[in-house]
Amino acid sequence: MKPKVLITRTIPKEALEIVQRSCEVELLKRDRSTPKRELIRRLQGKEGVISFASDIFDEEVFSQVPHLKIVSTVAVGYDNIDVQAATRHKVMVTNTPGVLTDTTADLTWALLLATARRIVEGDHFVRAGKWKHWMFMLLLGHDIHHKTLGIVGFGRIGQAVARRAKGFDMRILYTDLFQADKAAEEAVNATYVDKETLLKESDFVCLHTPLTPETIHFIGEKELKMMKKTAILVNAARGPVVDEKALVKALRQGWIAGAGLDVFEKEPKIERRLLSLKNVVMAPHIGSATMETRIKMVSMAAENCVAGLMGKRPPNLLNPEVWQG
Ligand code: GLV
């Protein structure tokens, strides 16, 4: 008998076929997260689940789905999954690292450029029919080239963002729990500094850290006050890394110049006061949202899930303690 797998959203045919070859699939034909009660109900009798960043898997879920062997999330970040609880219940957890690195780094740059050069304000200005004549002092932004880029979290995505900065002749600083190896630093000419130095010296601060208990509100009032008044903050990591209330204060009172945000503290709910600020460019968590990358991510998740259920070690296993190969 084929193992039963739940897929919590409609996925491209290519990826669906990978799972269907060896599993019996229940596919939810929609594109939104599944409430916890429904998730638990649908997981009854399922051995695998292919899920997405907004589906919550915690102790309450794991304790009520005794057949479950693997949660394969279609994302690199997995803060929505309590991996320790999964491990206690002997459930494998996998993610999709690597395939979305460049796409997310591109989006980071899109936000950085759009914020610094006021592209969204310019777009609104043109559409509103306000452009009557060319103006020398219209929508003056901030230079990007030859400035200092500060990267918080020098992992795959942080390094890909740094590689793109080379074309802008930027000075690159980074901070992380540990200093990266020489080769990684030299590849992009990046300098390891402490958090305070990074915040004080950077013109652009880009966040690429996973969400962990240590990184919640990594950027709060104190940090925003340390930044330059001309600095721009870009968050394409996870919303709660920034204290959104403090950010609103900083943007309204001019502690920093602007922010480019792809993620929000309680998304899709957004701190209401952010919406009226012109110095913010916002996107609805689309860091990895290109057709090419979404197909790669979901195919990778399908392969992880099938491997786990066919008795092979899933390539992107996050809790190897559970593996009994
Ligand atoms: C998206 O946010 C991801 O973690 O892949």
Query: Are the CB atoms for 279 and 306 separated by under 8 Å?
Result: no
pLDDT at residue 158 in the model: 98
Q: pLDDT for 43-102, tens place per residue?
A: 999 999 999 998 999 999 999 999 999 999 999 999 999 999 999 999 999 999 999 999
For the entire predicted model, the pTM comes to 0.95
Peptide bond into 268 cis (omega under 30): yes
- In angstroms, what is the span from residue 169 Cα to ligand 1's centroid? 29
Q: pLDDT for 211-243, tens place per residue?
A: 999 999 999 999 999 999 999 999 999 999 999
Q: What are phi and psi of 85, to 5 degrees?
A: -65, -40
- In angstroms, what is the span from residue 53 Cα to ligand 1's centroid? 6
pLDDT at residue 1 in the model: 87
**Of the candidates 252, 251, 246, 245, which has an alpha carbon nearest to the alpha carbon of residue 271?**
245
Domain boundaries, the chain: 4-97+291-322, 101-282
Which residue in 9, 208, 238, 294 is the catalytic one? Answer: 238
Q: pLDDT for 11-20, tens place per residue?
A: 999 889 999 9
Q: Does domain 101-282 have CATH number 3.40.190.10?
A: no
80-104 per-residue burial string, b: 16 or more CB within 10 A, e: under 16: bbbbebbbebebbbbbbbebbbbbb
Is the pLDDT assigned to residue 325 strictly greater than 70? no
- In angstroms, what is the span from residue 178 Cα to ligand 1's centroid? 22
Structural fold of domain 4-97+291-322: Rossmann fold (3.40.50)
- pLDDT > 70 fraction of the chain, expressed in percent and rounded: 100
DSSP string, 195-212: HHHHHHH-SEEEE-PPP-
**CA dihedral of residues 174, 177, 180, 186 (deg, nearest 10):** 10
State how far the Cα of 151 lies from the Cα of 163, in Å rounded to an integer: 12
Query: Are the folds of 4-97+291-322 and 101-282 the same?
Result: yes
Residue among 104, 212, 318 whose CB has most ligand 1 atoms within 8 A, to mutate: 104
